[in-house]
Amino acid sequence: MIKFLVSLGVLLMCFTGISQEIAVLQYGGSGDWYGNPTALPNLAKFCNQELNTTLSTSPEVVKPDSVDLFNYPFVHMTGHGNVFFTDEDVENLQTYLLSGGFLHIDDNYGMDEYVRKEIIKLFPNNPLEELAGNHPIFSYKYPFPDGLPKIHEHDNARPQAFGITIEGRLVLVYTYESDLGDGWENPEVHNDPQEVRIKALRMGANIVTYAFEN
């Protein structure tokens, strides 16, 4: 059954790979995958207004073991707590990423210790590597010469973007100690200054458009 779903998933990716569809990943492990509910819709709206994309402003929710995953070239994952990928999740996510999909994981604070061990399951021979400030993702549409911007304090540590590259293609980006998603939320949620929200939205736009075009 899994092999059938994988094969069907690859076909779906071939048919929908040029579409501009985005989704939120509903993972297991009791973490709040549903955190920042206004974040991705606001990012989609920003990209549509500023970059002439045609993203849905009502992103779908998809599970990591679902064949529906292959309908979305860009999938966003966030939360504060525990994350767990089953064997079926890992197999499907691997195939999705190798078939042209892209996963952005944004630590909403408290996710790091859990998500890193699950990322290792995906590509044990391709560990996360920090993306240097001159990586194209930091200047794809908007320039961030110093790399990932700091949006929220949290532990007041340096913001970092990590990636996994397979055969020359960046398939996964993990943003840590930045909390881009909080900056994408409605203004009244965190009361961030407008200039901070713009930084977060512009960096998010870089990630989304880079994912679609590479």
pLDDT (0 to 100) of residue 152:
83
Q: What is the pTM of this model?
A: 0.91
Contacts of 146 (CB under 8 A, 6+ apart): 133
Whether 8 shows a pLDDT value over 70: the answer reads no
What pLDDT sits at residue 16? 42
- In the predicted structure, residue 17 carries a pLDDT above the cut 60: no
Instruction: Give the contacts of 154 (CB within 8 A, at least 6 positions apart).
Output: 109, 177, 179
Q: How would residue 12 be classed by pLDDT, with cut points 50, 70 and 90?
A: very low
Determine the length of the chain. 214
Q: What is the mean pLDDT of residues 58-75?
A: 97
Confidence band, pLDDT 50/70/90 cuts, at residue 136 = very high
78-106 pLDDT, tens per residue? 998 999 999 999 999 999 999 999 999 99
- Give CATH for domain 2-213: 3.40.50.12140
Domain ranges of the chain: 2-213
Give the SS3 label for residue 68: helix
Give the pLDDT score at 163: 98
| Residue 161 DSSP SS3 | strand
Task: Supply the DSSP symbol for 84.
Answer: B
Instruction: Indicate the pLDDT class of residue 32, thresholds 50, 70 and 90.
Output: very high
- Give the mean pLDDT of 153-171: 92
User: Which phi and psi (to 5°) does residue 42 adopt?
Assistant: -70, -40
- Whether the per-residue pLDDT at 189 is higher than 70: the answer is yes
Three-class HEC string of 127-151: CCEECCCCCHHHCCCCCCCCCCCCC
3-state secondary structure of 59: coil
Question: Is 54:44 a contact under the CB 8 Å cutoff?
Answer: no
User: Given pLDDT bands bounded at 50, 70 and 90, which one contains residue 13?
Assistant: very low
CB 33 within 8 A of CB 77: yes
The two tokens of residue 214 are 């590479």
